[in-house]
Amino acid sequence: MKLKIAIQKSGRLHEDSVKLLRECGIRLDNGHNQLRAEAVNFPLEALFLRDDDIPQYVEDGVADIGIAGANVVLEKGKQVAIADRLGFGRCRLSLAVPRNDAYGSVRDLAHKKIATSYPRLLRRYLDEQGVEAEIHEISGSVEIAPGIGLADAICDLVSSGSTLLTNGLKETETILHSEALMIRNMQLTESKTGLLGQLLFRIRAVREAKRYKYILLNAPNSQLEAIHRLLPGMKSPTILPLAEPGWSSLHSVVQEDAFWSITEQLKDLGAQGILVVPIEKMIA
Ligand code: PRT
Ligand code: ZN
């Protein structure tokens, strides 16, 4: 019995999805097969699909789980559950209008024509805002619609904003913040639920590890307490005596962001030879 995971075949989410599995210690052996791959060291099989099809395959149980953007999952509205948010593939679904248009609020879009590949999410947003507008569904190159007179505004994914800029558009409202999601079939068997639990446990350990660094430093014994207070670590730091009398080596973990704000204080307390190294997995 294997857990079947649907992954984007190629595109923006493919690399990060495969990398996530690899960081979880799961190696895919796909030989020359472009459609599926077996994991060599975990009971898992990957199916490579177009991202738009992933929610349907997971709903139908062709795949047990899948990785797709929240934008796709919510737009498709299939009966699937969200198992975790994965933190990559971040973007936003936004409204944009020609740069030179006067724009005060979303009310200005009333009775206008808006081009999008996300009619369902856009409809929901406009309804919430009480704005009546015409939604024109197109499947690609949405950003050129206003320039060729096809629409007055667009609703599309944005990350850096450069596509909007080069097409003479300005972003006016964000209707969804998106990232890759792990979705799951609603009727997984008990044993597949168990396997998914193991996978999610690894994913969280990898994610947790990325937030922290392992720190090693040497310090005079008299300052160990003060340094320990700056570095709460996991539970308590490891302290090893150095060959030089009165000195110890202290090992702990520290949040990446916090580290930069305490470096000066550590040095003021006499810490020397500070090493900060990445952690691969972290299980609290
Ligand atoms: O072939 P398949 O159907 O599988 O792929 P696809 O072409 O439909 O999707 P793909 O690979 O482009 O994107 C897959 C997923 O990546 C999306 O569903 C989002 O969840 C996520 N993602 C993250 C993005 C972007 N960032 C993004 N910037 N998807 C698309 N874009 C496009 C956007 O549509 C616009 O054309 O990039 C352009 C804007 O980018 P900026 O940087 O110029 O603002
Ligand atoms: Zn797609």
**Per-residue pLDDT reduced to its tens digit, 175-198:** 999 999 999 999 999 999 999 999
Q: pLDDT tens digits for 26-82?
A: 999 876 678 999 998 899 999 999 999 999 999 999 999 999 999 999 999 999 999
CA distance 261 to 273: 17
Confidence class for position 258, pLDDT limits 50, 70, 90: confident
Could you state, in order of their start, the residue ranges of all structural domains in the chain?
Answer: 3-88+179-208, 91-178, 211-278
Query: What φ, ψ does residue 130 adopt, rounded to 5°?
Result: 70, 35
Question: Is there a common fold for 3-88+179-208 and 91-178?
Answer: yes
Report CA-CA distances (Å) from 64 to 55, 87, 111, 184, 200.
Answer: 10, 21, 42, 6, 14
Residue 107 has which token pair?
A: 């009310």
CA distance 191 to 168: 53
Average pLDDT over the chain reads 95
- What's the rounded mean pLDDT across residues 194-219? 94
Residue 6 has pLDDT above 80, yes or no: yes
Residues flanking ligand 1, CB < 6 Å: 8, 11-13, 50-52, 69, 71-72, 89, 91, 156-163, 178
Predicted local distance difference test score (pLDDT) of residue 31? 63
Predicted local distance difference test score (pLDDT) of residue 284? 75
Region 3-88+179-208: CATH code: 3.40.190.10
19: left (phi over 0), alpha (psi -120 to 50) or beta: alpha
pTM reported for the whole predicted model = 0.90
Q: pLDDT tens digits for 126-178?
A: 999 999 999 999 999 999 999 999 999 999 999 999 999 999 999 999 999 99
Strand order through the sheet with 36-39: 28-29, 36-39, 44-49, 3-8, 65-69, 180-184, 81-85
Domain 91-178 top-level CATH class:
alpha beta
Predicted local distance difference test score (pLDDT) of residue 84? 98
- Is residue 21 classed as helix, strand or coil in its secondary structure? helix
- What's the rounded mean pLDDT across residues 272-278? 94
- Is residue 194 classed as helix, strand or coil in its secondary structure? helix
Distance between Cα 53 and ligand 1 center (Å):
15
Residue 232 has pLDDT above 80, yes or no: no
- In ligand 1, the atom with minimum distance to the C-alpha of 180 is 20
In the structure, ligand 2 is a single-atom ion and the residues with CB under 5 Å from it are 51-52
Region 211-278: CATH code: 3.30.70.120
Q: Which of 154, 254, 238, 191 is nearest to 263 (CA)?
A: 254
